[in-house]
Amino acid sequence: MVNDNYLINWELVLKLDEIHEFLRYEDLKNLSFCSKEVYFKARPLLLSQVYLSSDLFADNLTVSDGNSVDTSDNDNETDLSKKVLESTKSIINYVTSVNIKYSNKLLKNPIDYISKINNLASLTFYHRKTTLKLDELNLVLSTLKHLRVLKLINISINSKSGETDSSLYFPNSLVKLVISQCYWPQHNKLLRENAASLPDLGPYSQLSSIKLVNLKWFEYYSIDQHLNYNPLPTILLNSPKLNTLSADAFYLTQSCFELISKSKSLRSIEIKDLSGDIFSPDYTNNDQIYSTIDTLKYTFVYKLTQSQSNLEKFLLKFPNLTRLTLPFTQKLVQALKHTLHQLINLKTLTIQNLSTEKGALNLNFNNYSVEGLTFEGFKVSQVKLKDLESWKGLKWVEFKCKTANEIDIVSEYNNVIKSDLSKLDFGESWRLIEYLECIRLYKV
């Protein structure tokens, strides 16, 4: 029986990460309108994130006569920037996270907006059309005393022509730092002309002289692997609290793995190895063991010239794994079988269909430790639930879409999985539950 005198604190409920897994942003917004009390309590959470897109503003903001803004006119360009600031003025005290996609002609300077936010904790710049000036970016980063998350994704950063010592500023308050597919036109031009004129870390040279003592998460991916910017060794050396590392295998040199083997804080690693670099004996025929790592996501493209035994050797260097994600191909079944047999602490396994595998998966072998098994990008017809009877510790099986960020695609995938599962006769041994991001079967 429900106690009518017991009042639910929705503000606290909505701040729980677990709740967000079940509610989309629209769900949260709709829930906030059920009463004034809930609305005002949920308001800070709903207004804490802002997405600024110059394309969006250009499509929706109008000048005083009701016509669309002409972004080719400099006066209107200034007017557009003012409208951006004015339109978000009322919520500025609630904002803690800002995500910006813009081009110079459509949004004059996003730095003007960012500098007005006193409580900014998370800042993201993204999209290939986004171009920033290094001096302006450094100026605002140096003033953000509470910034915990910085993400620079697929953007261009311009420094002054001819400068060789210009470096990106990194606040020591950062807990999470993501640098992915960024382009530095001036640095790259200088490097091609005279590599000796640039510091080893190029635009990231500040990392060699500071310690990011609060950093727990670092991601690094580059569009120019031939350029010698590799901040990973410095990050591993100067970030004593680093917990999660995600990077291209190209940058995970042997010296990086040596530092990983000595780390006391690192728990999770994600590696994208599209060239098969880590299959090399150089990475497997050594005595290094990565005992602190409990989570490994290793994405690679398997080639016939690569040795399955090297894959086994590499994975077994992580003896304390509890979560493992790997791409799946039938050619690696034996390697997977042998590896799982020895990873006795493994609880969760995710296998990805990166090579559009169409045949049925051969998983009819004994396993006693894995409790959760995720099939990412696979069809129901490729999985024989009967094969999983030999997985004695298994508690749930999950089907998950590869493109997790596209809501419509995920929804369509989930509907197909549900429909296909409804045609199977698995009696009362499995119970189906639909989540926003996946379809899960629980073993009864």
Query: Any idea which of 69-73, 241-245, 322-326, 403-407 has the lowest mean pLDDT?
Result: 69-73
Write the CA distances from 77 to 38, 81, 89, 117, 404, integer angstroms. 39, 6, 19, 22, 36
Six-digit token string for 97: 């996270």
Residue 147 in 3-state DSSP? Answer: coil
For residue 319, the model assigns a pLDDT of 96
Could you give the dihedral angle defined by the CA atoms of residues 311, 313, 315 and 319, in that order, rounded to the nearest 10 degrees?
170
- More confident: 223 or 60: 223
Could you tell me the residue range of the domain that residue 441 belongs to? 328-444
Cβ proximity of 244 and 271 under 8 Å: no
Write the CA distances from 109 to 74, 79, 85, 114, integer angstroms. 13, 12, 11, 9
In tens, the pLDDT along 87-115 reads 667 777 778 888 888 755 545 666 777 87
Does some domain include residue 92? no
Write the CA distances from 274 to 271, 298, 312, 327, integer angstroms. 9, 10, 18, 11
Does some domain include residue 423? yes
Does some domain include residue 350? yes
φ/ψ (deg, to 5) at 95? -70, 125
Does some domain include residue 191? no
Question: How many domains, the chain?
Answer: 1
Six-digit token string for 105: 């002609």
φ/ψ (deg, to 5) at 352? -105, 145
In tens, the pLDDT along 420-436 reads 998 887 667 888 999 88
Q: How confident is the model at residue 262 (pLDDT cuts 50, 70, 90)?
A: very high
Cβ proximity of 102 and 129 under 8 Å: yes
Six-digit token string for 291: 């005992």
Residue 337 identity (one-letter amino acid)? K
Residue 235 identity (one-letter amino acid)? I
Six-digit token string for 296: 């490994």
Does some domain include residue 115? no
**Interval 393-412 mean pLDDT:** 88
For residue 103, the model assigns a pLDDT of 57
Does some domain include residue 218? no
Does residue 175 have a pLDDT over 80? Answer: yes
Does some domain include residue 256? no
Q: How confident is the model at residue 378 (pLDDT cuts 50, 70, 90)?
A: very high
Cβ proximity of 232 and 205 under 8 Å: no
Does some domain include residue 8? no
CA 356 to chain centre: 23
| SS3 sequence of 210-256 | CCCCCCCEEEEECCCCCCCCCCHHHHHHHCCCCCEEEEEHHHCCHHH
- More confident: 200 or 184: 184
CA distance 182 to 134: 12
Q: Cα angle vertex 360, ends 358, 362, to 5°?
A: 130
